[in-house]
Amino acid sequence: MPGTHERALEALKRRGRLRTLEARSGLDFASNDYLGLAASGALTRAAEDALARGVAIGAGGSRLLRGNDPEHEALESEAARHFGSESALFFGGGFQANYAIFSTLPARGDLVVHDELIHASVLDGIRAGKADHVPAAHNDAGAVDDAIMRWRAAGGVGRPWIAVESLYSMDGDKAPLDALLAIADRHDAMLVVDEAHATGVLGPDGRGLAAHLEGRDNIVSLHTCGKALGASGALVLSTRTIRDFLVNRCRPFIYATAPSPLIAAVVRESLRICREEPRRRAELAKRVAAFGLGSSGTHIAPVIVGGDARATTLAAALKVRGFDVRAIRPPTVPEGTSRLRIAITLNVSENDVAALSSALRDELGRLAA
């Protein structure tokens, strides 16, 4: 007799939502390696140079034990300067960092207002924390304001926290950051900006869409290192007080083995490339323009087709034609909005992008016939 897990998997299969791991194949229109750095010679040489000067691969323990390496501290100092913040703290990954922020910083009696399409890592952190929480309509600053005012009117006396992505990972649209900052200032709230998909690509020197807000005492930002920066890990930018509080109270930081010192050294090279090689962003912008489909105008271009089967059929047809495009289905996206998530990167040429655009039009036509 099948057990609970077998029945759950069978139910997913019947609904067309059973997920499996697939090998890489075809032209890359699926990864988050937007600047083409992950397999670049520049990062390979940075790793080789670090190894040659004795940088360790593993940390050997948590940062509060023996795992605090000079490479961690060098990266954090450089990242704080690069992004224009008072301090930085390096985590092993973006999920861990988001979970750490929201499970640790908002206190009992506070309120977290989060965009309804926020990353799952934020939601899990919020649920593990002590603060009340409520969703707000996507990219609706007025809905955030209303939620805080309703909470105050009902007797809320703590501090509000506003959680958004600067560039949304499944839609490629941008948050109204200036309007949200005005709301945060008016309500003595903290604004937490997840820059995961903007880091390295958007803003001056690839510093993200919230670059002009950095350094304020009511801003916390997260910059992942495993997407456009081509490595792994994540940096939380904040005031020194918030950094020290995370070091002392954050369970995902205190009880985790520290990130690889070697990766910390490589991320420093990624930040240098962002500052000194603006041509990469310019070249990426040309590829985005060459795509010509989708409405986001950014390097994330969703093609929403509705049903799960339509999305998987379309992705399979494009794979046969040599394009690695993945179908995204609920619960990652809302019901009825299954889609292809087209990621434009420097791992493909402008001609490749134009070819995908043409192939996609063909396959959409066949799907509609």
The string of pLDDT tens digits covering residues 268-293 is 999 999 999 999 999 999 999 999 77
Confidence class for position 16, pLDDT limits 50, 70, 90? confident
Of the candidates 337, 317, 320, the one whose C-alpha atom is nearest the C-alpha of residue 328 is: 337
pLDDT of 231 > 60? The answer is: yes
The answer to whether the CB of 18 falls within 8 A of the CB of 11 is no
The answer to whether residue 257 sits within a structural domain is: yes
Residue 124 lies in a domain: yes
Residue 229 is assigned to a structural domain of this protein: yes
Does the structure show a pLDDT above 90 at 1? no
pLDDT score for 317: 95
Residue 251 has pLDDT above 70, yes or no: yes
Residue type, 274: C
Total number of domains in the chain: 2
Three-state DSSP at 236 gives strand
Between CA 358 and CA 352 the distance in angstroms is 10
Binned at pLDDT 50, 70 and 90, residue 267 comes out as very high
Residue entry with tokens 């109204």? 176
Model pTM above 0.75: yes
What is the rounded CA–CA span in Å between residue 320 and residue 15?
23
Reduce the DSSP state of residue 167 to 3 states and report it.
Answer: strand
Catalytic residues: 32, 119, 165, 169, 194, 197, 227
Residue 293: the pLDDT is 72
Whether residue 157 sits in one domain with residue 190: yes
Exposure letters 233-259 (e unless 16+ CB within 10 A, then b): bbbbbbbeebbeebeeebebbbebebb
The verdict on 140 and 110 lying in the same domain is yes
Residues 221, 195 contacting (CB under 8 angstroms): yes
**Do both 30 and 95 map to the same domain?**
no
Does one domain contain both 161 and 63? yes
Give me the mean pLDDT over the 313-330 stretch. Answer: 95
**Ordered strands of the 326-328 beta sheet:** 300-306, 338-343, 326-328
Domain residue limits at 360? 16-34+299-368
Indicate if the pLDDT at residue 295 is higher than 70.
no
**Torsions phi, psi for 303 (to 5 deg):** -115, 95
Tell whether 243 and 331 lie within a shared domain. Answer: no
Length of the chain: 369
Instruction: Name the region of 205 (left: φ>0; alpha: ψ -120 to 50; beta: rest).
Output: left
Pairing of strands 323-324, 132-136: unpaired
Is 8 within the bounds of a domain? no
148 and 195 share a domain?
yes
Q: Is the pLDDT of residue 294 over 70?
A: no
User: DSSP character for 88?
Assistant: E
- Which domain CATH number covers 30? 3.90.1150.10
- Cα separation, 153 vs 145, in Å, equals 12
Residue 106 has pLDDT above 60, yes or no: yes
Q: What is the pLDDT of residue 5?
A: 95
**264/320 same-domain check:** no
Residue found by looking up tokens 């450089």 in the block? 78
Residue recorded with tokens 């087709």: 305
Q: Kindly state the average pLDDT of the residues 311-337.
A: 94
Average pLDDT over residues 304-328: 94
